[in-house]
Amino acid sequence: ELKVEQNPLFLSMQEGKNYTIYCNYSTTSDRLYWYRQDPGKSLESLFVLLSNGAVKQEGRLMASLDTKARLSTLHITAAVHDLSATYFCAPVLSNNDMRFGAGTRLTVKP
């Protein structure tokens, strides 16, 4: 069974700083999604990474995928308060469904 581990689970950072969230998964998967959830809200798709070495950037967020290492990263550059949310990674299984990590709750402080 696929296990998805995100770390850190909780992240408090200052505005303007950089940080990386890691997502490790335990079985073969060549596609992975990142989602964002604001408190009390539903999930919003951020990135889809379709192949080994894929890199996607949107504003201050950049996601990458290394399928050989079974690792995806979400890098935050010069954090701002609006990025405070919970971020989930979700690799796609061979039977085409997804599993989510436990989420990383990010708080950006002024």
Partner 1 sequence: NAGVMQNPRHLVRRRGQEARLRCSPMKGHSHVYWYRQLPEEGLKFMVYLQKENIIDESGMPKERFSAEFPKEGPSILRIQQVVRGDSAAYFCASSPLSEALSPGANVLTFGAGSRLTVL
Distance CA 71, CA 81 (A): 27
Q: Which region, judged by CB under 8 A, interacts with partner 1, from 15-23, 30-38, 60-68, 73-81?
A: 30-38
Of residues 56 through 75, those in contact with partner 1 by CB under 8 A are none
Q: How far is the CB of 102 from partner 1 (least distance, A)?
A: 4
Residue 42 engages partner 1 in binding (rule: CB under 8 A): yes
Does position 45 interact with partner 1 (CB under 8 A)? The reply is yes
Q: Tell me the C-alpha to C-alpha distance, in Å, between residue 31 and each of 1, 18, 24, 67, 82.
A: 17, 25, 13, 8, 27
Cross-strand partners of 70: none
State yes or no: residue 22 binds partner 1 (CB under 8 A). no
Q: What are phi and psi of 70, to 5 degrees?
A: 55, 50
As measured in angstroms, the least distance from the Cβ of 103 to partner 1 is 4
Element (H, E) at 58: strand 55-58
Backbone φ and ψ for 81, nearest 5 degrees, come out as -60, -35
Residues at the site binding partner 1, with contacts judged by CB under 8 A: 1, 6, 31, 33, 35, 41-45, 48, 50, 86, 88, 90, 92, 95-103
